Amino acid sequence: MATVNEVIDTTIDDPGNRTPLVIGGHNYGSVTELVCRINESKTPIAWYIAFAVSLMTLGMFGSLIGYLVFTGVGVWGNNNPVYWGFPIVNFVFWVGIGHAGTLISAILFIFRQNWRTSINRFAEAMTIFAVACAGVFPAVHIGRVWVFYWLFPIPSLQLSMWPQFRSPLLWDVFAVSTYATVSVIFWYTGMIPDLATLRDRTKNPILRIVYSVLSLGWTGSARKWSRYEKAYTLFAALAAPLVLSVHTIVSFDFAVSQLPGWHTTIFPPYFVAGAVFSGFGMVLTLMVPARQIFGLQDVVTKRHLENVCKILLATGSMVGYAYAMEFFIAWYGGNLMEQFAFVNRAFGLTPWAYWVMVSCNVISPQLFWFKFCRTTPWVMFVVSIFVNIGMWFERFVITVTSLQRDFLPSSWGEFVPTWVDYGMLVGSFGLFFTLFLLFVRFGPIVAMAEVKSVMAHPHHDIHDIPQGDYHDDEVDH
């Protein structure tokens, strides 16, 4: 039996022993305490400072959107021939980050990776906020935001026509809006039992009402758990292919066009790998400090982080393979335009962007071959920042270099971002962190019910109970 002070190194692989997912000798009550303490303790000053900064950045984002809407898309650097500039780069960047949460919740659930329970809530919240950030960019990129509903097949007398369903851009509308909807209800469904825990603990009457309404009167009834569990499994089964479809369809936006550098069949798997890579990168960026700040080392152990690092190593290498394969196919395919497009990426107008991308995405995760790097939080944090930067540049390189240099030199041009472009990129982080800080303050950031279900039974070992008792047919009658 583990005592509270006993330190277990969960990063040691002992085939004879299943590594505990929660260390520090916790029981059910202390897990509740550990997680709810984050919400119930006095709000730290640091939170207020961080929130104020995020809110100001969000305010800037809102003002820039207002400026954009009232002035027009000319405030961006988008112009012939680079009509897809920062807005689409930012969209793909954020929607990629938004892949980790649902992937952890759905695919790791299906593969019975129980370690996901410690980080899934956190990652799902991150997913939803990232998708929210992603959704802003195509919405404002359409120019006339007030007729955004034309994207959907809604009968409109003004337009008197329907959307074009054979366009990948419309598939994107369906994919991203479905993904956002499903992620939100999946996340919320997962939170209902934990919101009930907060409801039953809180002393604050206002929060009690809020948590009561949000937890829908959840009691933890076994009959309800039974349907809930089935629902959760169904969600996972539906969300797993959905996660893979979303970035596949995002990649179609590029791959279905005929532009050299975009028109490649490798895009769907390459984009999905990149999305998982960037999503897990962002999970690490947020999880490493959060675990430290909120004292969650017992629930989010080094083994959890190590697993995330291994996923980063795997997906980062897949992305590296895709980069290499793009070059190989450009040469092997014998298409001069394609060859030019890729040589231009690496050595053309913005070679620094390409090499930032390669070094951040392919080289930096290779550190995770070393166990020291996989188990040292500050190394992971630094690498995760590199991954975030690299993945933004990947989208920048794909989008901008191909548009700048297409088939005819007469239609070449250069992309110069404006201050509004930079402001909106920074501002989207304001939206992300504002939502995130609100969530860590008021929401259950660890899925307590799920963690408890994968914990080793603390006080009782199941073998302590006489088998006869459990299967006794003749009790008291």
Partner 1 sequence: MAQESNNSDQKLIGLMAQFDDPDSLLVACEKVRKAGYTKTDAFTPFPLHGIDEALGIKPTILPWIVLSLGIIGGTAGLALQYYTNAFDYPFMISAKPTFSLPANIPVIFELVILHAAIAVFIGMLALNRLPTFSNPLFRVPEFARATDDKFFLTVDINDPSYKPNKTRELFDGFRGQTAVLEVYEDPSEANLPPVIKIVGLCAIVIALIPPLLLWKAYNSTSTVPRINPIRDMDVQLRADTQTTMPSDIFADGRAMRPRIPGTVSRSDSLDTEFVTGIAADSDEQNVVFLQEEDKPAEPAAEEPAEEKPAEEAAEQPMAEAPADGQAPAAAPAEENEPNWVKIAPIKVTQSTVERGQKRYNIYCSVCHGLAGDGDGLVSQRAIEREQPTWVPPTNLHTDYLLTQPDGKIFNTITHGIRKMKGYGDQIPPEDRWAIVTYIRALQKTRTGTESEIPAVELKELEIKGQ
Show contacts with partner 1 in window 249-288 (CB under 8 A): 249, 252
Separation in Å, CA 274 to CA 4, 311, 389, 459:
40, 11, 13, 43
Contacts of 101 (CB under 8 A, 6+ apart): 120, 123, 124, 125, 126, 127, 128, 183, 187, 279, 283
CB 356 within 8 Å of CB 393: yes
DSSP 33-88: HHHHHHHHSPPPHHHHHHHHHHHHHHHHHHHHHHHHHHH-GGGSS-BTTB-S-HHH
Q: How far is the CB of 10 from partner 1 (least distance, A)?
A: 21
Task: Give yes or no for residue 70 binding partner 1 (CB under 8 A).
Answer: no
Query: What CA–CA distance (Å, rounded) separates 429 from 136?
Result: 12
Q: How far is the CB of 72 from partner 1 (least distance, A)?
A: 12
CB 86 within 8 Å of CB 77: yes
Q: Residues 455-474 vs partner 1: string with x where CB under 8 A?
A: --x-xx-x-xx---xxxxx-
| Interaction residues for partner 1, span 225-244 (CB under 8 A) | 225-231, 234-235, 238-239, 241-242
| Interaction residues for partner 1, span 346-405 (CB under 8 A) | none
Task: Give yes or no for residue 475 binding partner 1 (CB under 8 A).
Answer: yes
Instruction: Specify the residue, 182 or 437, whose C-beta has the smaller distance to partner 1.
Output: 182
C-alpha triplet 433, 437, 439: angle, nearest 5°: 115
Q: Residues 133-162 vs partner 1: string with x where CB under 8 A?
A: -----------x-xx-----x---x---xx
Task: Give yes or no for residue 332 binding partner 1 (CB under 8 A).
Answer: no
Using the rule CB under 8 A, which residue among 255, 282, 367, 448 binds partner 1?
448
- What count of other Cβ atoms lies within 10 Å of the Cβ of residue 233? 13
Q: How far is the CB of 31 from partner 1 (least distance, A)?
A: 8
| Interaction residues for partner 1, span 5-64 (CB under 8 A) | 27-29, 32
Peptide bond into 377 cis (omega under 30): no
Task: Give yes or no for residue 107 binding partner 1 (CB under 8 A).
Answer: no
Task: Give yes or no for residue 217 binding partner 1 (CB under 8 A).
Answer: yes
The site that binds partner 1 (CB under 8 A) totals a number of residues, namely: 78
Q: How far is the CB of 207 from partner 1 (least distance, A)?
A: 15
Task: Give yes or no for residue 113 binding partner 1 (CB under 8 A).
Answer: no
Q: Which two tokens stand for residue 348?
A: 């053309």
Q: How far is the CB of 346 from partner 1 (least distance, A)?
A: 32
Using the rule CB under 8 A, which residue among 43, 63, 71, 189 binds partner 1?
189
